[in-house]
Amino acid sequence: AGFAVTASRRTGDENIAALRRGLAAVPHHLWDGQGEGENPYFGYLGLADAIIVTGDSVNMVTEACAAAKPVYVYDLPGGSAKFDRFHAAMLACQAVRKFVPGKVRQLESWTLPDIDDTGMVAAAVQRLLAARGKGQAIDG
């Protein structure tokens, strides 16, 4: 077992160095975003038994969840209320768990819930339209 870690071209040298230090004692492959070629992120998702992502990208979290593998989110400083609401919703529906270095000794496996994104969006649109007095219930 080991880690397949990918950065982005925006990660920066200081953060790449921190990743290298943190991974030094474990088997790993680090794509640092500095070389040629495509980011292997989607390949890593397909091969992973479990996934740890940083919480600074909603896309990254949802892409990881779409891989139907256990997903842990590592919180970074900063963020926004919008991101906080997103992460709270993902935790509440048990799609993700928090990754806390030093507290997670072994990555667990769990069955991810089915998330009906289309149904949730349709219901939200209906609520917004109804609140404006223009909506009609749509069956289906």
Residues of the chain with pLDDT under 50: none
pLDDT of residue 62: 92
Structural domain that includes position 51: 3-110
Residue 134 domain-assigned? no
Total tally of structural domains belonging to the chain: 1
What is the number of other CB atoms lying within 10 angstroms of the CB of residue 83?
Answer: 17
The pLDDT of residue 109: 83
pLDDT of residue 136: 58
- In this structure, is residue 49 part of a structural domain? yes
User: The pTM is what?
Assistant: 0.76
Per the domain annotation, does 129 fall within a domain? no
Helices (H), 3-105: 13-23, 41-47, 58-66, 81-92
- Those residues with Cβ within 8 angstroms of residue 8's Cβ, 6 or more apart along the chain or in another chain: 33, 39
Q: How far apart are CA 70 and CA 89, in angstroms?
A: 16
The Cα–Cα gap between 96 and 73 comes to 7
> What local confidence, expressed as pLDDT, does residue 92 receive?
92
Whether residue 140 is contained in a domain is answered as no
So what's the pLDDT on residue 130? 85
Q: What pLDDT score was predicted for residue 15?
A: 87
Is residue 65 assigned to a domain? yes
The reply to whether 119 falls in a domain is no
Residues near 42 by Cβ (< 8 Å), separated by ≥ 6?
A: 63
Q: Which single residue is written with the structure tokens 């990881």?
A: 64
Q: Which CATH number goes with the domain that contains 29?
A: 3.40.50
